[in-house]
Amino acid sequence: MVNIVLAAAAVIQRQDGFLLMAQRPPGRGWSGWWEFPGGKIEENESPFEALQRELQEEINISANDATLWFERSYSYPDKKVYIYFFKVTNWTGEIKSCENQLLEWQNPSHVSVAPILPTNLFVLKSILLPPVYAITNIEELGEKLFFERLKIKLEEGLKMIQVREKKLPYQDVKKIAQKILDLAKPHQAKVLINENEKLALDIGADGVHYPSHSLIQLKDRPEFSICGASCHNLEELMIAQDLEMSFAVLSPVQKTESHPLADPIGWEIFSEYANKLDMPIFALGGLNQVSLTKSWQCGGHGVAMQRSIWE
């Protein structure tokens, strides 16, 4: 029988975006490795109660607003570790080392401490990405209605959009993409172009999203700051991870209007694949905003939507 260990971890983030990391002290397993503060959940303890106790014991603080972010499982030869990651941006007390461990504030874009526990690598990549990834659907909505909806969504906090209009001529897509980019910039929202690297360079987009047929032909990671990939199985996900892509989109999780004949993988397979990888994975296919919590519970980063996001 596999020994299952439950743990709670705190992703403590300052206003400047820096994250607090702790080095495991001598005498403990994985001594010298860096991680997020936290520890084992004791019997009859909730994840939140364990988090508060560990924060007090390890670094002398109490979290004022610990929000459960996502849940991940990791398999080792002798045990399976299930971790509840909480995001903490406000706390009481002065942070200090209480267990002889080194503490460092790290910029998630340029982490300088090493080595980092494998269970924590996913967090460093995920913290840089928003949980909702919108995909354009001008073909169905029409340009006028789409831009009306886009403005509303940007006001509501949408932070990442993929321009995917495969049936339009290059110049039309370029015009649309430029308009999306101009609307997104004041909201600090990122704009990615589907597949077309030339278009991304022409308009100064934030990155490119590669369909699976393009992904498997890549030899090296493209030189865009954000590189996404569409994946449909574990093999493609592993290729995306080996290329160090920024994230992957795994689909279809549920039945979709656009691909009615495609067999959905379901949440169980999504969870199995997501928890095998150290990269952020968005769930796509028949999902809506409510599906976000399910994605987090399954070890995913968030959800991607092409239809329901614009409703």
CB 205, CB 223: distance < 8 Å? no
Amino acid identity of residue 50, one-letter, is A
The pLDDT tens digits for 209-228 are 999 999 999 999 999 999 99
pLDDT at 22 over 70: yes
Angstrom distance (rounded) from CA 302 to CA 249: 9
The pLDDT tens digits for 127-169 are 999 999 999 999 999 999 999 999 999 999 999 999 999 999 9
Domains of the chain, first to last: 3-117 (3.90.79.10), 132-310 (3.20.20.70)
CB 63, CB 55: distance < 8 Å? yes
Q: Give buried/exposed letters for 237-276 (b at 16+ CB in 10 A, else e).
A: bbbbbebebbbbbbbbbbebeeeeeeebbebeebbebbbb
Phi, psi of 166 (to 5 degrees): -70, -20
The pLDDT tens digits for 272-281 are 999 999 999 9
pLDDT at 119 over 90: no
Task: Count the Cβ atoms, other than its own, within 10 Å of residue 150.
Answer: 23
The pLDDT tens digits for 39-87 are 999 999 999 999 999 999 999 999 998 999 999 998 888 889 999 999 9
